[in-house]
Structure 1
């Protein structure tokens, strides 16, 4: 598991949650793995109370399962929850992509193109965490530039199950099409082509689920039965 330094001003619970969430999303903690509070206390150098509080919050976000008298475990990937999440995301992006075609400035477009360059660099160097960070930043930037940061917050708070599929995608599938989707989307924004931008957005989202059957075969123990 990755261990991080506690940030200045960051309380122990937020530190524990940030560290745990990173390891959960990036599959450093595998679905089904047992979680032991005492081990986490030793690993992160903090007391049991903030660890327990972080675990309870992540349980509420369906990333950790708690079974009385059995223990605490990393949750399995729930494909039904991911389907529901993608429905929500697609509904929001129908509006966001149209707004992007209206509102994005040349500076905004340049920022997105530089993000794509960074994504390619991190992917080439097999840095999955930074690749995913670029992917998240790309979408966050579009939402925020369109004045929809609250919408983006809703998306992020419900994306953690989906994030694990993204990591599987980046680690085992050729992602050239995903990168091209981002590039084509920026082209559509620049051309003010609302229909094309939304079409690419839908196609981009579907790509993550195209290989689901393959993942179910390759990683059967990662998924909720």
Structure 2
């Protein structure tokens, strides 16, 4: 087991550090769905005591990212398509509202500038660096900008907490490059809808954007069969 991003941030206590590193490694698939983890190994790798480690593990169990099986051990949770569907339902409902607010916002110039800048970074990420983890991060940032603009930060945080299984599936999709051009083009279309205040296109566009993976889910389940519940 080799964890990534183990440098501790300023002002992070040991529990926060342990939780962040474990969650990041689960979400970026460095710790793979279905993989067993051991407290002794993790404690040694992170150089932390067992108490903050166990606290972080309990939190990740509550977030359905870890599962404990008696007499077997603790495992990274496999991707559960039922939880994926729940996350999509929530995101679809909230993102329709946010985009309609953006379309009707008479003072959305700064929002448009932020989204345009984000899209340019997405293009650079794909054209030059081919850093698909970076593109995935910029994809998330695109939506964060929208929720922040309308004082819905806590709603976005709640969405992200409930989207851990969906987001791991989205990352697989990004790494496979199956829908990556479509995702970028849809972000551009979302921006144009906001610019043109075209509210009538919002529902269709949100549904298309969130369901990109649907057409290839069986391919992923076959290729990454150990990742899925």
TM-score range for the pair, normalised by the shorter chain length:
over 0.9
3-state SS of 1:62 partner: coil
* Alignment partners' CA distance in 2, 1:43 and 1:197: 46
Q: Which residue of 2 aligns with 1:46?
A: 48
Partner of 2:169: 165
Query: Residue in 2 aligned with 1:133?
Result: 137
Instruction: Answer whether contact 1:98 1:198 (CA < 8 A) is retained.
Output: no
* 1:215 corresponding residue in structure 2: 220
The whole-number CA distance in structure 2 between the counterparts of 1:135 and 1:220 is 26
Secondary structure at the aligned position of 2:11 is classed as coil
Q: How many residues align?
A: 224
Q: 1:69-121 CA deviation, whole Å, 9 max, x = no partner?
A: 21001110001110111011111122111001122622211111111121222
Alignment of 1:68-217 (within 5 A): 68-103=70-105, 105-124=108-127, 125-174=129-178, 175-217=180-222
Q: Which moves more between the two structures, 130-139 or 72-81?
A: 130-139
Separation (CA, whole Å) in 2 of partners of 1:131 and 1:42:
32
**Against the structure 1 CA distance between its residues 120 and 4, is the aligned structure 2 distance closer, same or farther, given a 3 Å change threshold?**
farther
TM-score (norm 1): 0.95
Using structure 2 for the length normalisation, give the TM-score. Answer: 0.93
Map Cα deviations across residues 6-59 of structure 1 (whole Å, 9 max, x no partner).
111101111111111111011101111110111111111111111111111111
| Cα distance between partner residues in 1 of 2:47 and 2:169 | 30
Aligned counterparts of 2:130 and 2:57: Cα–Cα separation in 1: 29
- Per the alignment, in what secondary structure is the counterpart of residue 211 of structure 1? helix
Change (3 A) 1:3 1:41: farther
User: Which of 17, 20, 37 is the aligned partner of 2:19?
Assistant: 17
What is the rounded CA distance, in whole Å, between the counterparts of 1:90 and 1:9 in structure 2? 35
Higher mean C-alpha deviation, range 177-186 or range 92-101: 92-101
Runs of 4+ in 1 over 3 A off after TM superposition: none
SS in 2 for 1:6: coil
SS at match of 1:27: coil
Q: What secondary structure does 1:65 align onto?
A: strand
Whether the 8 Å contact between 2:66 and 2:74 is mirrored in structure 1 is: yes
User: Which runs of 5 or more residues in structure 2 are unaligned?
Assistant: none
Question: Is the 1:3–1:19 contact (alpha carbons within 8 Å) kept by the matching residues of 2?
Answer: yes
Is the CA contact (8 Å cut-off) linking 1:77 and 1:222 kept in structure 2?
A: yes
